[in-house]
Amino acid sequence: MEFNTEILKPVAEQLAAIFIEELDGAENMLIRQVETGLRKYLQELGRMTMGMILSQADVAPERSLACECGGTLHYQRRRAAKVLSVFGWVEYERNYYAGCSCGRGKAPLDEQFGLEPGQVTSGLAALIALAGVELAFDHGARWMEQFLLFKVSENTVRKETQGFGELQATREEAQMERSQDAAYLQQRLRTETAAPKRLYGSLDGAHVRIEERNQRTEHPEHEGQNDKWREMKLGCWYLVEPVPVSQQSKRHRKKEEIGHQALRAKEIHYFCDMMEADQFEPLFWATGCQAQADLAQELVFVCDGAKWIWRLVETNYPNAVQIVDWHHAEERLEKVAREALTDEAAASWLEDTRTALWYGDTQFVISACERLSSQSEEARQAATYFRNNAHRMQYDRYRNQGYMIGSGTVESGCKQVVTHRLKRSGAQWNSQGAVLTAKARAAWLSGEWEQLCTSRDKLPIAI
């Protein structure tokens, strides 16, 4: 909404005069006190103005309206209501209709603005939910009080945050339904013209402690026995670009010194859920359709060696380039060296096998691990790992093609979505709360918050 500053200038002058008069004679006044006092004035002005706007937006009543049940509602009177907004509690009056045989009443203004008396407005809900995706719910409530100058409860922060997670889940359900519609997919083939040239995808998982409270024992000595760790599966779609020389860190410059162009992800879209791989697959496919993965000129997956990941990739995107994350592969070699060799021998062995792996000679690496397998379980497992993933470890070719070979994007996503929000000290989650909070945070990090706000405009959630 745009406004003319010249129209506001007289209002500002009048408010300044009132404020200056109140400050007259005050000693040792700090600028912070001036700011807080002015915020309170503006908050009250906003509260009163919003009430007037709502009351004046609905002043010409119809004699009757159609009821949802098929009957007729009749105009009754102007009825008072209040909602909790970004300015605090706002009181207003609107036309109210009742008298239908079904017993229900209706206030058209409330439906128009997505209002429900006694509940929060969509504008406030979006701010509260943002606090909840960034902070623990109790900390979010205290944080919001400093900004809003009135209190919201911890429970309100939880409900609004998870309400936004429900909105994201609804969006994903719609995407999954469309992605299974053959007519929709065929139409995309005919009409889409801006498919990405090279799109990346990555999958990973992070564990969250789940406390299913309805299963908890009544005996304190058994506290925690019903807790369990469950994997939150997370994926991301993204594009990649070179890091400009002026923005390169020492780590980036080191990569270029060893023949690997410094790359970074951009336009990242995260998606997540807590379920088995087979259940996660429809979301994987649907978000891929949303990102145009099925239409991309070239699709590249960079992931660790988990079997469930590559099974989903091969089933849904069989023509994609598959790359095992370089750092996971390198870490396997380090584990073998630590377990099977002395420090001096380990250094030389690591140098040889890393170099071979870097230049795509996986057979050298497999043979080196096999020679140690009789004395090291790590070496035996590593030989199997490299043998099974040899076709995903052609790192010399990947570098020549300009591919990113590290899965840091999805690992960062696991940290940002799961670790930083769901694994805080003292955090307790049931599975539904963890999933909804993670989905809301993933939407925020993916730049999709405005779409959720638009959906929330028509969906008031009780405080």
The verdict on residue 171 lying in a domain is no
- 356 occurs within a structural domain: yes
Domain assignment present for residue 47? The answer is no
| Residue found by looking up tokens 């603005």 in the block | 113
On whether the CB atoms of residues 266 and 236 are closer than 8 A, the answer is no
> Angle at Cα 255 formed by Cα 252 and Cα 260, nearest 5°?
120
Does residue 367 belong to any structural domain of this protein?
yes
Angle, helix 449-456 to helix 431-445, in steps of 10 degrees: 120
In a domain, 92, yes or no: no
Q: What is the number of structural domains in the chain?
A: 1
Q: Is pLDDT of 282 > 60?
A: yes
Tokens found for residue 35: 């700011």
For the ranges 64-68, 356-360, 422-426, the lowest mean pLDDT is seen at 422-426
What pLDDT is recorded for position 191? Answer: 82
Query: Is 60 a residue whose pLDDT tops 70?
Result: yes
User: Lowest-confidence range among 37-41, 87-91, 149-153, 369-373?
Assistant: 37-41
Residue range(s) defining the domain that contains residue 380: 328-395
Residue 193 in this model has a pLDDT that exceeds 80: no
Place of tokens 């925690």: 224
pLDDT at 213 over 80: no
Q: What pLDDT sits at residue 218?
A: 42
- DSSP H helices, 180-244, are 182-191
357 located within any domain: yes
Is residue 295 situated within a structural domain?
no
Residue 221 pLDDT class (50, 70, 90 cuts): very low
The answer to whether residue 94 scores a pLDDT higher than 50 is yes
pLDDT of residue 463: 35
Contacts of 313 (CB under 8 A, 6+ apart): 201, 203, 301, 303, 320, 322
Residue 227 is predicted with a pLDDT of 63
Tell me the pLDDT tens digit for each residue of 299-342. 999 999 899 999 999 999 999 999 999 999 999 999 999 999 98
Q: Which amino acid is at 78?
A: R
pLDDT value of position 31: 87
pLDDT digits (tens, 9 = 90+) for 231-279: 999 999 999 999 888 887 766 565 555 556 789 999 999 999 999 999 9
- Mean residue pLDDT of the chain comes to 91
Distance between CA atoms of residues 371 and 97, nearest Å: 84
Q: Tell me if 338 is assigned to some domain.
A: yes
Residue 416 has pLDDT above 70, yes or no: yes
**If pLDDT is split at 50, 70 and 90, which confidence band does 4 have?**
confident
pLDDT exceeds 80 at position 177: yes
Compute the distance between CA of residue 399 and CA of residue 397 in angstroms, rounded to an integer. Answer: 5
The backbone region for 351, taken as left when phi is positive above 0, alpha when psi lies in -120 to 50, beta otherwise, is alpha
| Rounded Cα–Cα distance for residues 301 and 304 (Å) | 10
pLDDT tens for each residue of 109-160: 999 898 999 999 999 999 999 999 999 999 999 999 999 999 999 999 999 9
Cβ proximity of 277 and 286 under 8 Å: no
